[in-house]
Amino acid sequence: MKSLSKYTLLIISLLILGGASCSSRGSGETRISLSTAARNTLVVAFDDEFGTVMFDQDPLTSDTSHWNVNGKAPEQVYHRSRSIDEKPKDSNGEYPVSRAYWIYLVLDHDLVAGKNYLIESPYGSVSFIFNPKQMICESIKVNQVSYLPSSRVRYANLGVYMGDGGSIRFSEPPPYQVLRASDHHPVYSGTAEYRGDDTSVSPDRVSSGEYVYRLDLSEVPQGGPYLVYLEGAGISPPFFISNEKVGEIASTYARFLYHQRCGMVLQQPYSEFERDACHTQVRDTREPWSASGKIRATGSQPLIEVTGGYHDAGDFDRRPFHAIIPILMLGYYEAFPSHFSDGQYDIAESGNTLPDLLDEALWGLLLWENLQILDPLDAHYGAVRAGTETSGHPEYGKVDSGTDAMVYGTWEATGEVTAFACGMMAQAARLLSTFDGFSQRSIELYQRAQLAWQALPVFYDDMREKPTGAVMYAALQMALATRVLEPEKESAIRESEDLFISLAHDLLVSDGYWPQQYRPGNSMAKIQTVHFSSFLLMRESFDEQLRQQLSEIVIRQAEKGGYMGFDLSIPFYPQGATKAYGWGAATAQGRYGDPIAFAYRLSEDEQKRSDYLSMLSQLADYALGLNPLGQSYVTGLGTNQVNSPLHLDSYTAKEEGLGNIPGLLIYGPSEGRSNADYQRVISDTLYPEWEQLPLQRRWADGWSLVNNNEFTVWETSVWNLCLYGVLYDGSFDSP
C-alpha cells in the first residue's frame, strides 16, 4: 500500500511517540492523512500516486458540497497542492510526477478532544477520535532536529496558511505548552507572541504569507525529544535541545561533502553508499574558461591524473568556484580549532591525528594540486588549471558518479585560480606544520605554493595595478607561511606583507570595485571573510592599524546583516535573505552567518559573543524546519524531509533501498522559475500558482525543478557545514 511520502514521515513520528495516524482508502484508492491547521480547521491530505489515481472531482475545485464532517458541511473549504515526488524521465519523454493535495475544512466549532469525527468526500472517508496531543498541527514550525542549548534565543513559529484561503490572525495570542514526547508531561508553558503581518506577496519581499506568532523555547530545559503543543489544535514534529544532536547535524553536513568526493572509492566501514573511484583521468584540453561553456574532449589530448575536489550539483564538474571550499574549511579551522577533532566525522582519514575538517580541506585542495602545471618547459609552469568539465550533463536516473562514462577535459590555467590555489597551499602548509608526522606534507604544499606564486606574473603585469581578492589572499598566506617555514627570508616576507597591505587598503578599507569587494552573503563577490581572516587572528600583527580597521569592517557587516542586510532582532523567520532570492539564496544560512561567526570569534565582550552565537543558532534553525513550509531542506535530517533532490547518486541509493544520501542541502524556494517544459512539470503542480505565492512558499518536490531542488557544494553545502562547525564546539549535554 503506497502512501503520501511526506505524510508517511509524519505518521512514523507519531507512531514512535505512541500516537496514531488516521488514514483510509476511498473509492479512488486514495490514502487520506490528517492534520490540523488551527483549533477549528482539519487538513485532509492525499495524492494521485503518480497519476494512477483519477479523481471524478478535481480536488482544487471541491467546495462545501463535496465534504462532510459528522454529517454536516464545513463552513469553508480551501485548497493547496504541489508535487511530492518525481521519477526519472520515461521512454516516452514524460516526467512521472506524484501530486499531493491539502484540503482545509474550516468548521463552525473548535475540535473537541475525545470526540469521534467522520469525514466523507469523493476522495474517501476517514473516521478518527480527535486527540490534540497526538495529531500534527502543520502551523507549528520548529527545528526538527535540535536547537543549540547555549543559544539565548530559541523559538518555534506559529503561522496558519491555508492555500487559497490565506492566513488567519487569532483574536488573542493562543497558549501553548512544550511536552516531553515520551509521556506528554509539560515542561514549559507560555503564550504566543504576535510578531506581525507577513502576508504580502511581492517580488521585493521575502514573505511567508502568514500572520506570524512566536512560541518562546528559551526556557525549555536541555533534553528531548519534545513537542510543542498548541492547546486544542495539535502538536509539532519532535525536536531536541541537545549538544550531541547539534554535533550530529554538523557531522551529517560534513559527511555529505565526503560523499561528494571525486576520484575516491567509497566503501564500508566509512560509507554504506559504496561506489568505485570516478573521473580520475581527464583530457588536458585547457579550454578557455567560460561559466556557461562546455568542453568536448577528444582522444587527441593527453590524459592526466586528477583526483580530489567534489562533484557539484546534479553533475560531476569541478569548477573555478570550488576554490572557496577548501579555503572556507581552512579558515574556519584556523578560527575555531578547538571545535574540530580527529574522528569527528568518521571518514577514511579518521585516526591519522589530523582533525577531520582539515582532512576534508586537504581533499578539496588535492584537486588544485593535481591541476597544477609542473612541466618546467611549459609557459604556465606553476600555474593551476581552472577545473574540469565535459560536453553536457549526465541524465538523471541513468548514471551516477561511479558509472558516468563521459569524457572530461580541463579549463585553462587562470590567474585567479592560481592565486587562490597558491593561498590555500600556503595556508595548509602552515597549519600542517604544527602536527607531528605531517612535516613532509607541509613542505610539499609550501613548495607548490611557491611555484604558483612565481607563476602569477604571467597573468598580472603588476599585481597592484588591478587589485584582486585572490592575489590579496595569496600574498597574506605566502607571508604567513614563509614566516613559519623559511623565517630567514625576511625580504620575501616583507614583500608579501607589503602587497597584502596595499591590496587590503584598496579592496577592503576603500571598498574595491565589483566584483572585487567584500559583500558577505553574496557568493558572487570575490572577497569573503576567510580571504583575510588569518590576518585578523595573528598574535602579533605586521600592521596593527590595518588589523583594527579590518576587524571593524567584519563586525560592522555582522551588525548590519551583511550583503542581505538581515536584522535578526526583528525577523518573522530567520531566513537571512531579504533580497536576491535566487537559486540557493533560501537555504544558504551559513553564507549570511559568516561575518557573524567571525565577529563572534573576534569579540572579547561576553554579552556580544552571546548575542552573535544566538544569531548564528537562529539562522541554523531555518533549513531544518523553522520555515514557513515546515520543511527540512536537508536530506537525512528532520521529520519532513526532501524526497526528490536533483542528485544522481541519491537516486541510485534510493533504488538500492538506502534512501537519499544524508546531508544534501537543496536550494529551496526561489523567486523566479524557468519556462522550460521539464521544469514546469513540477512548478505547475503548485496551487496557488507560483506567481501568487509568497516567495518562501515557491517550492515543490521534484528533481527536474532545478532552481528548487539542485544544490552546489560551493554555494550552499560547505557554508552550512562551516556554520555548524562553529555551533558545535565539541561539548556534551549536561547530566
Q: Assess if residue 523 is contained within a domain.
A: yes
CA distance 712 to 693: 25
The stretch 521-542 carries a mean pLDDT of 96
The stretch 28-50 carries a mean pLDDT of 91
CA distance 237 to 235: 7
Judge whether residue 316 has pLDDT over 70. Answer: yes
8 A C-beta contact, residue 177 and residue 231:
yes
Q: Assess if residue 591 is contained within a domain.
A: yes
**DSSP secondary structure string, 188-245?**
EEEE-EEEEEE---BTTB---SEEEEEEE-TTSPSEEEEEEEETTTEEPPPEEE-HHH
Judge whether residue 3 has pLDDT over 70. Answer: no
CA distance 533 to 224: 37
Please state whether 413 falls in left (phi above 0), alpha (psi between -120 and 50) or beta: beta
What are 645-671's pLDDT values in tens digits? 999 999 999 999 999 999 999 999 999
What pLDDT is recorded for position 21?
43
CATH number at residue 310: 1.50.10.10
Q: Assess if residue 113 is contained within a domain.
A: yes
Judge whether residue 341 has pLDDT over 80. Answer: yes
Judge whether residue 25 has pLDDT over 50. Answer: no
Q: Assess if residue 76 is contained within a domain.
A: yes
Mark whether 120 and 266 lie in a shared domain.
Answer: no
Judge whether residue 549 has pLDDT over 90. Answer: yes
- Cell numbers linked to 337: 580549532
The stretch 216-241 carries a mean pLDDT of 97
Mark whether 543 and 394 lie in a shared domain.
Answer: yes
Q: Are strands 210-216 and 155-158 parallel, antiparallel or unpaired?
A: antiparallel
Q: Which residue has the higher pLDDT, 732 or 170?
A: 170
What pLDDT is recorded for position 313?
81
Judge whether residue 17 has pLDDT over 80. Answer: no
What pLDDT is recorded for position 23?
46
- The pLDDT-based confidence of 14 (bands split at 50, 70, 90) is very low
What pLDDT is recorded for position 649?
96
What pLDDT is recorded for position 293?
85
Please state whether 184 falls in left (phi above 0), alpha (psi between -120 and 50) or beta: left
Domain span at 470: 262-625
In angstroms, what CA-CA distances link 299 with 100, 263, 303? 49, 21, 9
Work out the burial of residue 703: count CB atoms within 10 Å of its CB; fewer than 13 is exposed, 13-18 middle, 19 or more buried. buried
Q: Assess if residue 183 is contained within a domain.
A: no
What are 321-340's pLDDT values in tens digits? 999 999 999 999 999 999 99
What pLDDT is recorded for position 9?
39
Judge whether residue 24 has pLDDT over 50. Answer: no
Kind and range of the H or E run holding 589 = helix 589-602
Work out the burial of residue 386: count CB atoms within 10 Å of its CB; fewer than 13 is exposed, 13-18 middle, 19 or more buried. buried
The stretch 364-384 carries a mean pLDDT of 97
What pLDDT is recorded for position 29?
54
Judge whether residue 444 has pLDDT over 80. Answer: yes
CA distance 431 to 340: 14
What are 350-359's pLDDT values in tens digits? 999 999 999 9
Could you give the 3-state DSSP secondary structure of residue 13?
helix
Judge whether residue 28 has pLDDT over 60. Answer: no
What are 572-604's pLDDT values in tens digits? 999 999 988 988 999 999 999 999 999 999 999
Q: Assess if residue 355 is contained within a domain.
A: yes
- The pLDDT-based confidence of 4 (bands split at 50, 70, 90) is very low
Q: Assess if residue 702 is contained within a domain.
A: no
What are 364-373's pLDDT values in tens digits? 999 999 999 9
Judge whether residue 74 has pLDDT over 60. Answer: yes
What are 147-171's pLDDT values in tens digits? 999 999 999 999 999 999 999 999 9
What are 657-709's pLDDT values in tens digits? 999 999 999 999 999 999 999 999 999 999 999 999 999 999 999 999 999 99
Report phi then psi at 526, rounded to 5.
-80, -10
What are 82-120's pLDDT values in tens digits? 999 999 999 999 999 999 999 999 999 999 999 999 999
Judge whether residue 7 has pLDDT over 80. Answer: no
pTM for the model: 0.95
Cell numbers 561533502: residue: 257
**Which of 75, 98, 129 is a domain's end point?**
129
Judge whether residue 1 has pLDDT over 60. Answer: no
What pLDDT is recorded for position 298?
87
Q: Assess if residue 409 is contained within a domain.
A: yes
* Percent above pLDDT 70 for the chain: 96
**Which of 591, 625, 659 is a domain's end point?**
625
- The pLDDT-based confidence of 10 (bands split at 50, 70, 90) is very low
**DSSP secondary structure string, 262-324?**
SS--B-TTT-SS-B-----EEEEEEEPP-TT------TTSPEEE---SB--TTS--B-GGGGH
Mark whether 125 and 274 lie in a shared domain.
Answer: no
* Total number of domains constituting the chain: 2
**Which of 107, 129, 151 is a domain's end point?**
129
What pLDDT is recorded for position 201?
95
What pLDDT is recorded for position 733?
86
